[in-house]
Amino acid sequence: MERLRRLPRGRLAVIPAVALCALWIAACGSSSSSTTKSAAASGTTTSSSGSKSAPANALKIGILSDCQGDFGAWYNSDIGGAQAYFIAHNGAKAKGPVPSDGITGGTIAGHPIDIVGYGCANDTAASALSEVRRLTEQDGAQVVIGPLSGDEGIAVANYSKTQPGKTFINGTSGAQDTTLKVRSPNFFRYNGDGAQWSAGVGDYAYKKLGWRNAVVVMDDYAFGWTSAAGFIADFCADGGTVTRVYPPLGTTDYSSYISQIPQKYDGLFSAVGGAGLLDFLKQYVQARGNFKKNTLAGNIFLGDPATIAAVHASDAGAVEGTSTNEDTTSPNASAYIAALKKAYPAKTNSLPAPGTLAGLASSVFTVNYYVAAWALDKALTAVHGDLSNGQAALHAALAKTALPDAPYGPVTLDENRQAIITNYIAQVSGTGVRTIYKVPGVTQTFGGTFSPTTPSPGRGQPVCQKRSLPWQGKEQAVSFH
Amino acid sequence: MSVAVGRTSPRAQLGTQAPRIILGILGLVVVVWLAIKASQGGTTFIQVTLNGITTAALYFVVAAGFTLIFGLMRVVNMAHGSLYLFGGYVAYIAQTHWFGGGGSQFSLGGASTTSIAGFFVPLAFATLVIGLVGLGIQQLLLRWNQGQDLRQALITIAVSVIFADQMVAHYGGIVQSIQQPTSWPNSITIGALRYGFFRITVVLGSAIVIGVLLYLLFKHTRFGMTIRAGVDDRAMLSALGVNVQLVFAGAFFLGAMLAGFGGVLGGTMISVGPGLDTQFLLDALIVVIIGGMGSLVGAAIGALLLGLVQSYSAIYLHFGSLDLSNYGVMTSFILVIAVLAVRPLGLFGRAA
């Protein structure tokens, strides 16, 4: 009797255990397979059409971005940015109104352009690695433009060391380690890292907004840490103190993290990006009410055209660190915007609001891919299309390539093949972004604050301490109005 | 209980009591720790507690359907998370297409407005659609494998994997959110406390109403009585002339509807996006394992425990300069282990 009663009992206990095990398998299976599935579904694996008909001397280019995860919305901004350059300057033609439709024609220094595929990652290092492998090892890309996101950049830069005969030009990823620590000889970054994009904001907040203690909310991954590191280095250099909160990238329910924010603080610096920023601000306003004037600052995401329309209600007067100017009328920026308009004039649902590529011109996702394509064109032209000897001539040329006419300020590379940029401080409001200060010549090292031997930016790094920075108190007022 | 004690020898009694004593001490330490934290920051503590309770409400709605299906049919429906997420997407699509509202995360506070109907019609529609999808799964895939628990679990895993990939293919990888009616406030303020309106009224309210309705259904209707009888002894119920297949179909329909309803609430309170299916399936599994498979009260208590533990561990795992909040995810499993150590069938679980 006892035995009989125990049998089903034992069996029942097994079911949840088996179910739990199976769940893990299912979860892993679905996440890895979904990447490839979606890439196929959204027509991103366009390796077939281009490469088959391409002539022998074609330059095979892979463009690596994110079509999933926190930054998936900017997939076509990235592709569009790079391809708009080829369309405007290399004679390529768009195959359709959506950038991921592809391009045809066009040559760089005598090499016909062949876009072998688009990488669809999801802001994780693993996804970027599998996508960059697909582009280089299966589709045969000789040059990769990308990736988009911080952890991905570190992974791809490390991967590039195993492919010394190929060239990797960063898309818009902004982790510090990518260039400062990895220092791969064939990985080039013509955009600032997250810290460079925050340069000057901490100093401005301390001196002009009167903040003394700040809350720094950062995505808990390489870019979030780097972005926050720039603010913390600046702000603490003047004598400010910080409280750090670090929700994981991809958090949707920020309520617990909002609870960690002290009730009293002078200002909040947001290094939360992508879709998470909107969730965070929405839930912050629900929990704490609207931000008071001059108490909110943030990184490039706060003023991205795709997010600006969405956040206006909560951040009137917010201050943003950025490497672009939405409000500039300079000839360089105008030429760039005209190129975007000509290449992709149509409004499309495949781009985030405002829905046109030109409307997203001041987004780092558009301009940095454009600049990457530009650098490739300039360097390959300088060596007359020489790809021999493991692209040695191209690598040497890229390392020396400067872009004095880049849309939002001159770009040169340092000895780690990392851009030295002009950074800007801007005010964000419902009507747009107003640039108020500029910080020229921002290097990745912050005047020696960061070096290959200093700890990588992280949850507790850099340490908050007084230091001296090259631009302290030397930000230059600018106005485009 | 007294009968059971009478039957057990004193030594065995001590053996079963040991884990209880350890657990009691552990529980006491946690309560004291929380009391200290509560006294340090009252408003924060209330907010964190409300976070836990509202999350628990969502877990309960999802887990109630899961436990109903399991309790009656012994089917561990591994596609329950997929039904949850699909429900969110159906409502999102319905809202965007029929009412022009919805929209991606990038239209927060944007120009579009959402009417009351613009929220409730998609809610009802999605709930119904998911009920029918669940019914389809049961009739087409599970019915002819009745009694083969493992096979059914594997079939539903297959369904969940197919669903997950199809949803990424059709709805993309970008996180979306369903809009609440524009006329509703974002948050409500009680004294010094400010809290999200949707979370505390709609989500918590729905969970309570659903809990009460399910209780009444089980205790006071013929259908509920049949289900309870079926939970205890399916063979006998069938022998008594009840059409068991019809009861199974009804229960699966109801359980799937709850998953879909939960998906819409979750999609409004938080968001709709890839990966949430497995996350909510895991949460539902933990809830019913804690509460005891097949028990409604167990699902409620289990959801509350899980929600609070997750919420507190995200905040209160700072001990001086020692920050253990990274290990917060482990607390859910510590909870499962602790409960199973004392009650292997869950708090309210019964042997079949």
Mean pLDDT of chain B: 85
Secondary structure, 3-state, A82-94? HHHHHHHHCCCEE
Residues in B closer than 8 angstroms to A69, CB to CB, are 173
The amino acid occupying position A101 is: D
Is B307 touching A (CB cutoff 8 A)?
no
Nearest by Cα to B306 from B344, B262, B347: B347
Task: Look up residue B216 and give its amino acid.
Answer: L
Q: Average pLDDT in the A437-463 region?
A: 94
Distance CA A60, CA A117 (A): 9
Point out the residue among B194, B274, B285 whose CB comes nearest to the CB of A19. Answer: B285
Give strand ranges (E) for A128-246. Answer: 143-145, 167-169, 187-188, 213-218, 241-245
Tell which B residues from 200 to 259 touch A, by Cβ distance under 8 Å. none
More confident residue, B48 or A306: B48
Lowest mean pLDDT among A105-119, B127-141, B200-214, B317-331: B317-331
Asked whether the predicted pLDDT for residue A28 surpasses 90, the reply is no
In chain A the domains, ranked by start, together with CATH numbers, are 47-192+328-413 (3.40.50.2300), 196-322+422-477 (3.40.50.2300)
Most confident of A29-43, A49-63, A277-291: A277-291
pLDDT of residue B19: 75
Q: How far apart are CA A275 and CA B177, in angstroms?
A: 10
Residues of A in contact with B153 (CB under 8 A): 15, 18-19, 22
Q: Indicate whether B273 pLDDT > 90.
A: no
Residue A40: band (very low, low, confident or very high) from pLDDT cuts 50, 70, 90: very low
Q: Do A19 and B165 touch (CB under 8 A)?
A: no
- SS3 assignment, position A428: strand
Number of other CB atoms surrounding residue A138 within 10 Å: 13
CA A64 to chain centre: 12
- Of B35 and B213, more confident: B213
- Closest residue of chain B to A301, computed from CA coordinates: B106
pLDDT of A480: 82
Q: Is A74 left (phi over 0), alpha (psi -120 to 50) or beta?
A: alpha
Does B246 have pLDDT greater than 60?
Answer: yes
pLDDT at B55: 93
Lowest mean pLDDT among A88-102, A190-204, A394-408, B266-280: B266-280
Averaged pLDDT, B171-179: 78
CB contact under 8 A, B285 and A8: no
Going by C-beta distance under 8 Å and a sequence separation of 6 or more, which residues neighbour residue A434?
A: A327, A426, A427, A480, A481
Q: What is the pLDDT of residue A80?
A: 96
- Asked if B172 has any chain A CB less than 8 Å from its own CB, the reply is yes
> pLDDT for B105-145, tens place per residue?
444 444 467 888 889 999 999 999 999 999 999 999 998 88
What's the pLDDT at B45?
A: 87
Mean pLDDT on A207-217: 96
Q: Is residue B4 pLDDT above 60, yes or no?
A: no
Q: Which of B108, B149, B161 sits opposite A29 (nearest CB)?
A: B161
Global pTM value: 0.81
* pLDDT on residue A15: 56
Judged against a pLDDT cut of 50, whether residue A42 lies above it is answered with no
Answer with the residue of higher pLDDT: A437 or B17: A437
Partner residue facing B161 (CB), from A30, A282, A286: A30
Contact A259 B44 (CB under 8 A): yes
The chain B residue lying nearest A309, using CA atoms, is: B110
Cβ-nearest to B107 among A67, A70, A353: A353
Mutate to test the interface with A, among B159, B175, B336 (most CBs of A within 10 A): B175
Residue pointed to by tokens 């809990």: B211
Show the DSSP H helices in A70-172 as ranges. 75-89, 125-133, 150-160
The answer to whether B8 faces chain A, any CB pair under 8 Å, is no
Q: If pLDDT is split at 50, 70 and 90, which confidence band does B173 have?
A: low
User: Encoding tokens for residue B137?
Assistant: 């799964």
Bridge partners, residue A245, by sequence: A217
The predicted pLDDT at position A47 comes to: 41
Residues 6+ apart with CB under 8 A from B149: A11, A15, B74, B75, B76
Q: How confident is the model at residue A362 (pLDDT cuts 50, 70, 90)?
A: very high
Query: Which residues of chain B does A263 touch, with a Cβ-Cβ cutoff of 8 Å?
Result: 43-44
Per-residue pLDDT at A16: 57
Instruction: Tally Cβ neighbours within 10 Å of residue A93.
Output: 13
Residues of B in Cβ contact (< 8 Å) with A278: 105-106, 108
Q: Do B175 and A70 touch (CB under 8 A)?
A: yes
- Determine the pLDDT at residue B10: 59
Measured between CA atoms, how close is A469 to chain B, in angstroms? 29
C-alpha angle A430-A431-A432 in degrees, rounded to nearest 5:
95
Q: How far is B107 from chain A (nearest CA, A)?
A: 5
Cα A473 to Cα B173: distance, rounded to the nearest angstrom: 43
Q: Which among A69, A252, A314 is the nearest to B173, CB-wise?
A: A69
Nearest CA in chain A to B169: A38
Report the C-alpha gap between A103 and A432 in whole angstroms.
Answer: 32
Measured between alpha carbons, how far is B317 from B327 in angstroms, rounded to an integer? 8
Contact B285 A16 (CB under 8 A): yes
Q: How far is CA A352 from CA A43, A306, B104, B196, B294, in A?
A: 18, 6, 9, 27, 45
The mean pLDDT value for A310-326 works out to: 76
Predicted confidence band of residue A311 (pLDDT cuts 50, 70, 90):
low
pLDDT value for A50: 44
**C-beta atoms of B194 and A256 within 8 A:** no
Q: What is the pLDDT of residue A20?
A: 59
Phi-psi label, residue A63: left if phi above 0, alpha if psi -120 to 50, beta otherwise: beta
Residue B168 has pLDDT above 50, yes or no: yes
Chain A residue with minimal CA distance to B55?
Answer: A253
How large a percentage of chain A has pLDDT more than 70? 86
> DSSP per residue over A325-350, as a string?
-TT---HHHHHHHHHHHHH--S--TT
Average pLDDT for A267-281: 89
Q: Specify the pairing of strand A213-218 against strand A187-188.
A: unpaired
B104 in contact with A, Cβ within 8 Å: yes
Would you state the structure tokens that stand for residue A105, as one six-digit string?
Answer: 């024609």
For range B215-240, the mean pLDDT: 86
CA distances from A293 to A37, A205, A268 (A): 46, 13, 11
Q: How far is A245 from chain B (nearest CA, A)?
A: 11
**Chain B residues whose beta carbon lies within 8 Å of the beta carbon of residue A31:** 275
**pLDDT, position A86:** 97
Look up residue A280 and give its two tokens: 């965070």
Kindly state whether B135 is in contact with chain A, defined as any CB-CB distance less than 8 angstroms: no
Task: Name residue A268's beta-bridge partners.
Answer: A215, A296
Residue A236 has pLDDT above 90, yes or no: yes
The pLDDT of residue B14: 59
Q: Identify all chain B residues contacting A282, using CB atoms and an 8 Å cutoff.
A: 108-109, 186
Residues of B in contact with A289 (CB under 8 A): 187, 194
The answer to whether residue A239 scores a pLDDT higher than 60 is yes
Name which of A37, A286, A312 is nearest B165 (Cβ-Cβ). A37
CA–CA separation, A325 vs A120, rounded Å?
28
CB atoms under 10 Å from CB of A352, counted, come to 27
Instruction: Identify residue A393 by its one-letter amino acid code.
Output: A
Average pLDDT value over all residues in chain A: 87
Kindly determine whether residue B76 and residue A23, on different chains, have CB atoms separated by under 8 Å: no
Least confident of A23-27, A96-100, A171-175, A264-268: A23-27
Instruction: Give the mean model confidence (pLDDT) for residues A255-281.
Output: 89
Decide if pLDDT at A92 tops 90. Answer: yes
Split at pLDDT 50, 70, 90, the class of B16 is: low
For chain B, strand residue ranges (E) read 187-190, 193-196, 318-319, 322-323
Phi and psi angles of residue B136, each rounded to the nearest 5 degrees, phi first: -60, -45
CA distance B290 to chain A (A): 11
Q: Which of A9, A23, A73 sits opposite B281 (nearest CB)?
A: A23
Please give the pLDDT value at position B87: 96
CA distances from B320 to A244, B37, B75, B135 (A): 15, 12, 46, 52
pLDDT band for position A155 (cuts 50, 70, 90) = very high
- pLDDT at res. B275: 83
Structure tokens at B311: 């919420």
Q: Which residues of A touch B194 (CB under 8 A)?
A: 286-289
Residues of chain B in contact with residue A70, where contact means CB-CB under 8 angstroms, are: 175
Of B170, B175, B344, which has the smallest distance from its Cβ to A252's Cβ? B175
